[in-house]
Chain A
């Protein structure tokens, strides 16, 4: 965890006072609805379908147990006893009262938390790999760099009223687990030939109604220049990004209109003025921030644990969970564990106050009091001793947090959808539940293997449907809720956007379509190692399409025939 210093704390406290005053002026009729919207949004407060929604920042997804206990307290005191982990590694409460939000923020400030820049047209929460600091393939601890960027972005005087929201992701490892290619700016740590640290800079990626994979505008940016270079990118965007049409206002539209090459040149010429200026980073600052992170005090342990091996051999359910939800750690004798918030029948990412308290306790007992929230809406205990895994599994199982489905079809990424969100065309949570029920058989699920299924209730794409191996998008069809299915999307180093399979289908038909896709996949893969996405890439979407719609049309024809002869 990054621990605030006196100035960090003071700025967050001052933001609470400022927001309290803004709320007061709004309630007194001194601020119009429109202007208060611009102000409350940049503190994470939306007015939703039923009530306000408050989004609380979990910077780069890192959370201390005492912070999670505070979130549980807020859920109980100010909300309806639960919260929702979003795909941006934040927490959302769906039922707070507008008048009490300043009090919630004041409570959060006591545990070094806030809602700053969780919405609005400004630089949002910086996101990263949820295995930062523990992954075997990492070049740098991305959390340190995310914190450097958090400080740079917070209340940036020049970039607080951008044309549109602005999302930055940092990946510190070889494998991209931060989805850098689908962010406004993606930073991928790299070493140059001399072993110096820098970042590959991607710009203009994003989902939403115009999904685009980001373009590399600089192969190697030495770390010292990170902030001045970002200032240059943001300045070009702030001045020239479109402000006349909200749907054309993201940086990806500017980059596309100018071409990535021309945009890169503009950034370079702006940067020529800023380079080596006072915002150039210095080693002392990186060390200072590094030193403010608490570090897990790892014990010196053997790389294997005999009792673990015995438990794995004896208990099939534990073995399944270990296979799916436990990953290697760079420190011998430890592992990183994913607690699944994707139990069948529970909206993906939802967590009750009781679960929050229980997870906080697990974190204290098994993982140095820290946890991470993943963009897949699960919780990770990153520093668990191998010898503790079996006991942790038993406790997590009792809490309903041990569904062994990480990386599998039922680990659905999903936005809150039409049940909660005023933007949504269609519900997403019941559809996710129906799919999870359809694929409840674990053996079948494991046979299917690795498969990302992502779902969004509208084209804003909060559920990242474009980069799901299977993507589901809620659409409005003459007032009825329909679902458009795409396949072939992927996140990570080989990121790609899914292609639409065919005409949209009704809610009741969705699980059947997914089943058809899986059926076709299982019949045509050449080996178990060929994943669903691999098969789509090998043979294209047409055969899948024929299988789904051909059969569907056949069924419709059969029904017509039956009716005709009845």
Chain B
């Protein structure tokens, strides 16, 4: 069974993930409940979506530009990014942009091919919510956040790179 990790815990989850139909047409919108809609649906039915009673989330595919929703982030209770396969790394950049450039503070969920071995990197890029792929082991997945005890780079979780934390300098360079 697929399961959700949120804030480093296995979490109950009522979000419905809406995907375009096989022919690419927009999915039907359920009358109520919490939904995560594709970007195209948000662009096309913005007013309808805002008028609904349930909570609203949007998801971006790897080729989609987070700049498109930069001005709308306050409308969403959740933003999800799709990783289309094991090696699709575009979502890591999208996560960072949403957090660091567009200032998104809400729930940021990784969806698609999300397995234990990705989690450490995804967390470093600002993801705090994960729809794990079918067949992943919950305990092993939670342990994956601790694969490495530190990182050299600045990450969303640790905004200062290791060298600045070592030297105690927080301000920028020169």
Contact A277 B172 (CB under 8 A): yes
Interface: A484 (CB within 8 A): no
A288's partner among B118, B153, B160, B166 (CB-CB below 8 A) is: B166
B149's partner among A14, A22, A156 (CB-CB below 8 A) is: A14
Taking CB as reference atom, which chain A residue is nearest B65?
A239
CB contacts (< 8 Å) of A155 on chain B: these are 120-121, 148, 151-153
Which stretch in A34-42, A507-515, A538-546 binds the other chain?
A34-42
Q: A121-B87, A157-B125 are in contact. Are A280 and B174 (CB under 8 A)?
A: yes
Contact A157 B124 (CB under 8 A): yes
User: Quick one: CB contact mask for A276-315 with B, threshold 8 Å, 1 for yes?
Assistant: 1111111011001000000000000000000000000000
Interface: A50 (CB within 8 A): no
B92's partner among A238, A276, A277 (CB-CB below 8 A) is: A238
Taking CB as reference atom, which chain A residue is nearest B116?
A25
Q: How many residues of A contact B (CB 8 A)?
A: 42
What CA separation (Å) do A121 and B90 show in the bound complex? Answer: 13
What CA separation (Å) do A56 and B119 show in the bound complex? Answer: 25
Contact B147 A18 (CB under 8 A): yes
What CA separation (Å) do A345 and B126 show in the bound complex? Answer: 55
What CA separation (Å) do A513 and B166 show in the bound complex? Answer: 59
Q: A155-B151, A157-B120, A157-B121 are in contact. Are A288 and B172 (CB under 8 A)?
A: no
What CA separation (Å) do A277 and B161 show in the bound complex? Answer: 10
Count of A-B contacts with CB under 8 A? Answer: 117
Q: B87, B96, B160, B161 — which one has the most chain A CB atoms within 10 A of its CB?
A: B87
Taking CB as reference atom, which chain A residue is nearest B85?
A243
Q: Which of A3-23 contact B (CB under 8 A)?
A: 7, 10-11, 14-15, 18, 22
CB contacts (< 8 Å) of A30 on chain B: these are 137
What CA separation (Å) do A294 and B110 show in the bound complex? Answer: 44
CB contacts (< 8 Å) of A156 on chain B: these are 153
Contact B89 A7 (CB under 8 A): no
Interface: A151 (CB within 8 A): yes
Q: A158-B93, A158-B125 are in contact. Are A278 and B172 (CB under 8 A)?
A: yes
What CA separation (Å) do A76 and B97 show in the bound complex? Answer: 49
CB contacts (< 8 Å) of A154 on chain B: these are 152
Q: Which of B150-174 contact A (CB under 8 A)?
A: 150-155, 159-164, 166-167, 169-170, 172-174
Contact A14 B164 (CB under 8 A): no
Contact B121 A151 (CB under 8 A): no
Q: B92, B123, B150, B170 — which one has the most chain A CB atoms within 10 A of its CB?
A: B92
Q: A152-B152, A158-B125, A273-B101 are in contact. Are A238 and B162 (CB under 8 A)?
A: no
Interchain residue pairs A-B with the least CB separation, the first 3: A161-B89, A157-B124, A280-B173
